[in-house]
Chains A and B, each alone.
Chain A
């Protein structure tokens, strides 16, 4: 009898606990979320930006056509698109838009807005910067047969076009606003997103309030948010620890994680993931002696990536050794193949001997160079110091120059450097995005090495049209082989993402990209 009673009590307790757990997961409405943004956006326009600072600032105010389903990454789902059809030959994409969507100024969203947005990205008018121009170069025309239908007709097949439509950078602007001033989105926000812009206090914060007319019923949960610019890591950590901000969605270093865990115990939630982001070693192929493949290869071969990943992963966000595709993702080159490529050998002693020979053959046995780097402690500075040390070991004299982001990027874009640490900031693993940075500079202005290589371009084009995954993977490996043999540029290490959030912050989704999931629509506070 007692045993039977005990079972009943246990069953009731389990039921009660389950009920409580389910209740704990029921989103609550209300509250204001404060979160940290560790850099301030240079402007408000994601079309012309390549920094997460713009997305973490602007994404809550906007919608995109499609979006990534972060529970099933990299699957895509509709955002403004209610449904879509893709022609079997991948030459036509037809989207049906959600009805009754309104911009924050009250204007209804129609297919004309989508067309104006994509036209701006693929063919920016004078005075407008579009860093997405190359991505949408394969679009031939955009048609709007009715206000809720938009049809993209392709010039060429792009096997990953659907994923590109889900890019977080492609926020939809109002055609009316763009007609009045194509550059308006740099300074003015008018989207269809879950939050309405309230204010941007320069140097301090950006604030948004709940959009009561948001087309996804019941969302957002929050009444509002404040993205607070915490430019110094120490200020950000203090703010997280003191509860002034509930999280930092880009990522922190292992040491910062350890400090928060030690100080906050079970009040802090730490989520970790590999990251669709890497640092690259880039040679300016238009400058001597880096126009010589032997010099470039020698410098790449002197880097002990495998050893470096051990040490750097303890002090920085750098961790995995990989090729041009994120290590561990389906299309990535396996380690056994990678080690056969120049710059990835595990026998570093032999590699360095070969590197010295190559430098001597190239006539620069006592090479001096300037390494151009970004003035960001994490992880650019440790990466730069690491490279200086690696190259010193083959007798290369390196001057390490760090500069603020704007000047750093402008200098690289204008080709006024010898060797640089660049970054490849992706939002998905698809190779159409990951490989694009390495195309000839005439096709991909983001190729800082300024190389021109018709063979690489051809492999890329072939791979874009290839829909068989195995053949596509083989083409990616052929691309890597050619790229690293020529040594124009090469990933140094891939990043590892560590995101701290208070346990009262719910509904935010971790992903391998800090560019994703920034709209905050499903975030809520357990108060």
Chain B
């Protein structure tokens, strides 16, 4: 298991390096100039000399290879530089935004997992009964309705029925847990519904597959209690593909909440991403892409390790 873990960890290094090279050089070919936008983007008339001086000050006149090397040295020491727009450290710019998006993603995952596992299991166990049909309708609804639309419905319902809306400025959970949860539960529900639908359908189909396996028949033939057959033998194996889906959906949520954040006026990483792209704030975009890539890589690593825990064949394979 240790060797397997070390191999998987080492594999993350070339992946992240590849992402760094791609994001850095691809951003440099995108049309637009952060200095132009910064100095002329609010209607100011600035001379070319001022723009050139600013470019020099920001180190944008250096050869690309030098800029890349400087950035990589910083990344290696977890210093992602300063935002080209605000000149504040990238890590600081990202911190509060990430905190919010991360919390919504965690809450959505909890909601999804808590609902999806029993829902998917029930649908598989009562295949082609009314229970299965209800679960299928609910989950197809979750897949068909975009999260932002469901979010808008939630907001309208809260307004229409209770004349109430969640707060629109963020309070960290360690400052005021009630205010924090009151605000974030709704976007978490909005994205959690879709998330739940994906996971429930995955559990249903993989459980149906597993229930036809020989070892389940053997367990039943041996007189093992049905509850034990389901929980210890069937569900444990059926959860493997669901773990992948849960992990991928979770990482997707970190950067993919853009529209939902706008519906709920959340100050998350998605909004920061959009804002940075519109301003050509390269260092901030690079920092966020690296963060999200690192997240993907490490969540995938966690999934691989969990696989090995659930299925010993993998770690010895």
In the complex, what distance in Å separates the CA atom of A131 from the CA atom of B44?
5
Instruction: Knowing A202-B93, A203-B267, A242-B163, say if A129 contacts B168 (CB, 8 Å).
Output: no
- CA A486 to CA B270, docked complex, whole Å: 46
How many residues of chain A are within 8 Å of chain B by beta carbon? 46
- Chain A, 239-272, CB within 8 A of any chain B CB: 239, 241-245, 263
For residue B59, give the distance in angstroms from its CB to the closest CB of chain A: 16
User: A228-B168, A244-B168 in contact; A50/B43 too (CB < 8 A)?
Assistant: yes
Interface centre among A127, A226, A242 (most CB of B within 10 A): A242
- Complex: how many Å from CA A136 to CA B278? 32
Contact in complex: B40, A414 (CB < 8 Å): yes
B118 in the interface (beta carbon within 8 A): no
Asked whether, in the complex, the Cβ of B93 is within 8 Å of the Cβ of A235, the reply is no
User: Whose C-beta in chain A lies nearest to the C-beta of B155?
Assistant: A238
A-contact bits for B78-93, CB 8 A (1 contact / 0 none):
0000000111000001
Shortest B160–chain A CB gap in Å is 9
Q: Which residue of A lies closest to B279 (CB)?
A: A406
B267 near A50: Cβ-Cβ < 8 Å: no
Tell me the complex Cα distance, A244–B45, Å: 38
Q: State whether the Cβ of A51 lies closer than 8 Å to any Cβ in chain B.
A: yes
- B248-281 contacts to A, CB under 8 A, are 262-265, 267-268, 271-272, 275, 278-280
B169 touching A127, Cβ below 8 Å: no
Residues from 320 to 355 in A contacting B, C-beta threshold 8 Å? none
Q: Would you call B168 and A203 a contact (CB within 8 A)?
A: no
Q: Is B54 an interface residue (CB 8 A)?
A: yes
B271, chain A: closest CB distance, angstroms: 6
- Indicate if the CB atoms of B45 and A446 lie closer than 8 Å: yes
Residue of B32, B265, B272, B280 with highest tally of chain A CB at under 10 A: B265
Range for the number of chain B residues in contact with chain A? 35 or more
Judge if A204 is at the interface, Cβ distance under 8 Å. yes
B267 touches A242 (CB 8 A): no
CA distance A263 to B44 in the complex (A): 41
A243–B162 Cα distance when bound, in Å, is: 12
Does the CB pair A131–B43 fall under 8 Å?
yes
Residue in A201, A231, A410 whose CB lies within 8 Å of B40: A410
B-contacting residues of A (Cβ < 8 Å)? 40, 42-43, 48-51, 54, 126-127, 129-131, 133, 187, 201-205, 226, 228-232, 234-235, 238-239, 241-245, 263, 404-407, 409-410, 413-414, 445-446
- B residues with a Cβ closer than 8 A to A are 32-33, 36-46, 50, 53-54, 85-87, 93, 96-97, 152, 155, 158-159, 163-165, 167-170, 262-265, 267-268, 271-272, 275, 278-280
Chain A to chain B: the 10 pairs with minimum beta-carbon distance, closest first: A445-B45, A50-B43, A406-B41, A242-B165, A404-B278, A203-B267, A129-B44, A413-B40, A406-B37, A235-B265
